[in-house]
Amino acid sequence: MGSARSLFEKIWDSHTITTNEAGQTLLFIDRHFCHELSFHAFNMLHGNDRRVRHPERTFAIPDHYTPTTGLNNSDYVDEDTRALVANLVNNAKRNEINLFDLDDERRGIIHVVGPEQGITQPGMIVVCGDSHTSTHGALGALAFGIGASDVSHVLATQTLWQPKPKSMRVNVTGSRPAGVTAKDVILAIIGHIGAAGGTGHAIEYAGQAIQELTVEERLTVCNMSIEAGARAGMIAPDETTYRYLRGRPYAPGEEDWSAAEDYWRSLTSDDDAEFDNEATLAAKDIQPMVTWGTSPEDVLPVCSSLPDPQAEIDPKRQAAMQRKMEYMGLHAGQAIEDIKVDRVFIGSCTNSRIEDLRDAARVLEGRTARIPAIIVPGSGLIRAQAEQEGLHKVFEAAGVDWRPEAGCSMCIGVNGDFVESQERCASTSNRNFEGRQGRGARTHLVSPAMAAAAAVTGHFTDVREMETP
């Protein structure tokens, strides 16, 4: 590549300390988030008689195992999960790192809280022991998940050895049609390039449809970059980014704002920057999407019918498709809108922000849920804002379970919220793997609007065709 650089390269280069003979780069890390499963890393740190090198750059937020029922002191699944949360709190206090404790209204899902508080900013490198750290790239950061030993290394040194990923640009041209959400956009992208289409790459999303997204919508897109196999997902900062960040608690204050914005404006990819791979989709062709299999790449528009494995020439792929359909209790040629749903989950680091809750409320208002549904806010502040706007009254009138506490909830099924075996769930989360929401659970990924539509009809329904009640 020449002197022209992409957003990814600019951030990588500015954080490079040195490289080794194996081709790995030692990077400086700006922000490090820790949740309950970081205990291995803290054990390694303390076992070597070390403390956190930069506690001011480290943030501890319990989210995976915390109950969302409001009974935090008595509603844990078991004593082991309670201990995981307590261990994180104790490690945070011992090392004097930033802690968003259980009684802190700001607490919530890490990948919601970081952007919401302005902790995540353009040009930063952000890491966490969680694959969906890619979410933070929506603000023009380079953000990726790391393993336990890497978490320990960052805690001890504020640096990390990493091989340099390849670069990829995904262009979404034109404007989205009415009724198509950011969740539909990223599901369409994954369906187009495949679950391994971004493997080994940092993806930059570009094009008119991406530029027209709000920051909350961009967070949804970048969140699911990992589901396309990518190391990270990124969107260049722009006026939308600056408006979102200004005035947030950890964002630069007014005295530092101009200098920060001047730097952020330099982070866009150069016009003649080259990428190792590129893909293009037309936004006009994207429709409300529903996954049907056990990978996010198994996705189709809601008005479609399921594919026939027998039409697949590759025997391995044919067998894989057949297994997916058997696990999901579906059959070839079945119309997606004929698939009945047993329960609905609206939440997760993908879709639990205030705009997501508003989308769900618009569909639920004046209607009644026919199947069990829960809505879990992404943070305490989002819950408070939703209630200030009266969204909780819409949810409650519809017979939906509006949870009083933020957390990962049914996305991962380790905190008391799970889907029963062979039960079918319309979920706004990011993964539909076998057993992700519970042993034998059948997960279909959809947008908040589509999940709400399924709640009131009992089956997958094209939300665009639902008349105002």
At 461 the pLDDT is 98
Measured at the CA of 457, the angle between CA 456 and CA 463, to 5 degrees, comes to: 85
- The answer for residues whose C-beta is within 8 angstroms of residue 263's C-beta and 6 or more apart is 122, 123
Together in a domain, 108 and 158: yes
At 72 the pLDDT is 60
Q: Is 1 domain-assigned?
A: no
Together in a domain, 302 and 178: no
Q: Is 285 domain-assigned?
A: no
At 1 the pLDDT is 45
Together in a domain, 105 and 231: yes
Q: Is 158 domain-assigned?
A: yes
210, 243, 277 - which closes a domain? 277
What is d(CA 453, CA 428) in angstroms, rounded to the nearest whole number?
12
245, 277, 309 - which closes a domain? 277
Q: Is 282 domain-assigned?
A: no
At 468 the pLDDT is 72
Together in a domain, 254 and 345: no
Together in a domain, 212 and 171: yes
Together in a domain, 395 and 450: yes
DSSP 43: H
Together in a domain, 72 and 160: yes
Together in a domain, 153 and 270: yes
277, 309, 338 - which closes a domain? 277
What is d(CA 319, CA 136) in angstroms, rounded to the nearest whole number?
37
Q: Is 360 domain-assigned?
A: yes
Together in a domain, 348 and 227: no
What is d(CA 146, CA 219) in angstroms, rounded to the nearest whole number?
19
Q: Tell me the CATH number at 331.
A: 3.30.499.10
Percent helix / strand / coil, the chain, rounded to 5: 40, 20, 45
346, 352 in Cβ contact below 8 A? yes
Dihedrals phi, psi of 306, to nearest 5 degrees: -70, 145
Together in a domain, 227 and 345: no
Q: Is 459 domain-assigned?
A: yes
Together in a domain, 141 and 198: yes
Q: Is 2 domain-assigned?
A: no
- Find the helix packing angle between 79-95 and 39-47, rounded to 10°: 50
Domain containing 410: what range?
290-465
Q: Exposed (0-12), middle (13-18) or buried (19+): which is 393, by Cβ within 10 Å?
A: middle
Both structure tokens of 241: 């980014």
Residues of the chain with pLDDT under 50: 1
Q: Give all strands of the β-sheet with 373-375 in edge-to-edge order.
A: 401-402, 373-375, 343-346, 424-427, 442-445
277-282 and 289-291: which strand pairing?
unpaired
Total count of domains within the chain: 2
Q: Which residue has the tokens 């075996």?
A: 421
In this structure, the number of other CB atoms found within 10 A of the CB of residue 105 comes to: 12
Q: Is 336 domain-assigned?
A: yes
Together in a domain, 86 and 194: yes
- Find the helix packing angle between 215-223 and 182-193, rounded to 10°: 30
